[in-house]
Amino acid sequence: MKSFVPFVCLAAAVAVTAQTAPKAPAASTTHKAATTSAAKTAAASTTAGFPTIYKVPADEKRVVAPQKKVAVLTYQDIKIGTGPEGESGKLWHVKYKGWRAADGVVFDSWENNKRPVMDKDGKPEMDADGKPKMGDPEPLTFPQGVGRLIPGFDYGVMGMKVGGKRRLFIPWQMAYGTRAMPDRPDHPGIPAKSDLIFDVELVEVTDMPAPPQRPMMPPGAGGSVHPQPVIPPKGSGATPQGSAPATPPTGAPPTGTPDATKPTTPPPSTNPGTTPPPQPSTPPQPK
């Protein structure tokens, strides 16, 4: 019984200490409300997929209603790259594999992207069976962000860094839509409204090649963008080719009608390079 007394006293002392210890101040109601409001705003912005702060025309009003999604593009980062981040408008070099989400059938892969081996004369080398000899597979090269590929692939790789790997989950609305891709000898087809999955690895990002420059050609060399008018010899009376005929001044006799006060001018010679003989001047009229 004596050994039980110290434990009872110790328990009583702990109870008294707990009652007399100062309590931490409770969080204010305003702070709780602000935190809840901020959380709701962040959640709405995240789930909506579109900025909650946007502008509308002067004659329109903001609509107070939840934003609903039609198709959701998602991805998983398998590996974060350590190289530079890819930029839109540049050439992306990627390794990829694509399969149908419904059955896992692979319909395309970068390993199928092979080119014929060329000899020194620029002609394809042939195998023993008479078919062109194919080289090693090459990564897919495409200008990112300009719509050359399906939207799900084009948008899904945004933010990747060189050396990174990503798995894209593309809904059919952002793939081939209601179109059906038929089977080919080297590729299985894709049925209409098929959700697709791609594994993508960003290998390199390079600048777009500069467009070819057309050399400037001198006038008359055949390469001028604006053709120059051909000016006939002075005094031949011919109209310059490529230019509009001159309009006779007001009051002048119509074309083809001789003027009685001036001698008739003979037609110019049709032989190129020949200058017509000089014509006599008109004698002065008596006053």
Q: What value does the mean pLDDT take over residues 224-235?
A: 53
- 8 Å CB contact between 217 and 227: no
- 8 Å CB contact between 144 and 88: yes
- pLDDT digit string, tens, across residues 52-101: 788 889 999 888 888 888 889 999 999 999 999 999 999 999 999 999 99
Q: Does the pLDDT value for residue 149 go beyond 50?
A: yes
Split into its structural domains, the chain has a count of 1
The verdict on residue 90 lying in a domain is yes
The verdict on residue 224 lying in a domain is no
The verdict on residue 183 lying in a domain is yes
Residues 244, 195: Cα–Cα separation, whole Å: 62
Residues 8, 6: Cα–Cα separation, whole Å: 5
The verdict on residue 152 lying in a domain is yes
The verdict on residue 123 lying in a domain is yes
- pLDDT digit string, tens, across residues 99-119: 999 999 999 999 988 888 888
Least confident of 11-15, 131-135, 162-166: 11-15
Mean pLDDT of the chain: 73
The verdict on residue 68 lying in a domain is no
The verdict on residue 259 lying in a domain is no
- 8 Å CB contact between 46 and 74: no
Q: What value does the mean pLDDT take over residues 127-139?
A: 85
> If you count DSSP H runs as helices and E runs as strands, how many of each does the chain have, helices first?
3, 6
- Of 198, 159, 157, 161, nearest in space to 176 by CA: 198
- pLDDT digit string, tens, across residues 3-61: 444 444 444 444 444 454 455 445 445 444 544 554 444 444 444 467 778 888 999 98
Residues 81, 166: Cα–Cα separation, whole Å: 10
The verdict on residue 280 lying in a domain is no
**Per-residue pLDDT, 11:** 44
pTM: predicted TM-score of the whole model, two decimal places:
0.56
**Per-residue pLDDT, 124:** 86
Per the structure, the complete domain to which residue 194 belongs is given by: 74-206
Residues linked to residue 208 through DSSP beta bridges, in sequence order: none
- Give the CATH number, domain containing residue 196: 3.10.50.40
